[in-house]
């Protein structure tokens, strides 16, 4: 079983066709000794709790425990691990949605966007309204987002649903809109949480090709969380394996995936 060894972390990717040379690149993401803890309420009767006015006990869950790593500008970085290992929590922390209980995350001034089902939309607003809101939250001007509106709507392919509240959307429709916004607006750091595997076959193919096109821009940094090892193998230059909130291994894609496959078999 391989253990985490920081000295073994390569400084550049091995996917030459995607990242010809990362030598001399600055760091885009610095994660240092990150700890994130949840407090989960234990099962109890809400009615009983309200009438007795007693404080409910909370169980503490350490979702991320002392994680440190860096991602170079222009790198395609994968995060793998079984369900509950802290992968999505990590992405949400990098995106600024979750706060760290301890440690730090430094994006060195880069813009960042998160593609994840269930994150970032106001469900009472229409698809069009959410495009505008999402773009402005990413730091773009209203005029710039409006200039990209037609392109985003066309890529999403939602038809008349674009003018309906997103609470009426299926998970596939939600993912189409989320991907289209981030793909067209093109933030400097893209965080992708399983979204490439959601939606109908045609959209998955189109989004995958779009992602490869975005990745070809060596100024864009991409972090991908996925259970699809084939996607990780093709796209990522390095991989971080999280297990129970801690780094199990980090290094070259093939080495980490081979170790992970052996561990899971």
The answer to whether residue 216 is domain-embedded is: yes
- Report the half-sphere exposure of 15 (CA within 13 A, side-chain side): 24
Residue 57 host element (H or E): none
**Separation of alpha carbons 257 and 259, rounded Å:** 5
1 is a domain residue: no
The first and second tokens of residue 76, run together, are: 């395609």
Alpha-carbon Rg for the chain, nearest whole angstrom, is 20
CATH number for the domain that contains residue 129: 3.40.50.300
Could you give the number of structural domains in the chain? Answer: 1
> Rounded to 5 degrees, what are φ and ψ at 139?
100, 5
In a domain, 5, yes or no: no
Which residues constitute the domain of residue 120?
18-45+55-264
What is the C-alpha to C-alpha distance for residues 128 and 247, in angstroms, rounded to an integer? 40
Per-residue pLDDT of the chain (265 residues; tens, 9 = 90+): 344 443 333 333 333 434 445 667 899 999 999 999 987 655 445 555 555 555 556 678 889 999 999 999 999 999 999 999 999 999 999 988 889 999 999 999 998 888 776 566 898 999 999 999 988 877 788 999 999 999 999 999 999 999 999 999 987 888 888 888 888 887 889 888 876 665 677 877 887 787 777 777 778 899 999 888 988 998 898 999 999 999 999 999 999 999 999 999 8
Residue 22 burial (C-beta neighbours within 10 Å; 0-12, 13-18, 19+): middle
């Amino acid at each position: 079983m391989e253990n985490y060894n920081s000295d073994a972390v390569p400084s550049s990717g091995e996917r030459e066709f995607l990242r010809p040379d990362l030598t001399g690149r600055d760091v885009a993401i610095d994660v240092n000794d990150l700890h994130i803890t949840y407090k989960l309420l234990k099962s109890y009767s809400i009615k009983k709790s309200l009438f007795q006015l007693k404080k409910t006990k909370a169980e503490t869950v350490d979702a991320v425990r002392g994680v440190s790593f860096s991602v170079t500008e222009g790198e395609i970085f994968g995060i793998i691990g079984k369900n509950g290992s802290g992968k999505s929590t990590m992405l949400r922390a990098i995106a600024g949605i979750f706060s760290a209980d301890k440690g730090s995350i430094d994006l060195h001034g880069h813009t960042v966007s998160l593609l994840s089902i269930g994150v970032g939309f106001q469900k009472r607003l229409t698809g069009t309204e959410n495009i505008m809101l999402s773009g402005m939250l990413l730091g773009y001007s209203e005029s710039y987002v409006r200039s990209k509106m037609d392109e985003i709507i066309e890529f999403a392919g939602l038809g008349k649903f674009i003018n309906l509240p997103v609470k009426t959307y299926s998970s596939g429709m939600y993912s189409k809109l989320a991907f289209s916004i981030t793909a067209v607006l093109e933030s400097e750091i893209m965080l992708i949480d399983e979204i490439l595997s959601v939606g109908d076959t045609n959209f998955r193919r189109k989004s995958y090709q779009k992602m490869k096109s975005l990745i070809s821009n060596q100024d864009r940094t991409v972090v991908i969380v996925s259970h699809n090892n084939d996607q990780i193998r093709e796209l990522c230059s390095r991989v971080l394996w999280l297990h129970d909130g801690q780094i199990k291994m980090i290094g070259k894609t093939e080495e980490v995936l081979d170790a992970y496959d052996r561990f899971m078999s």
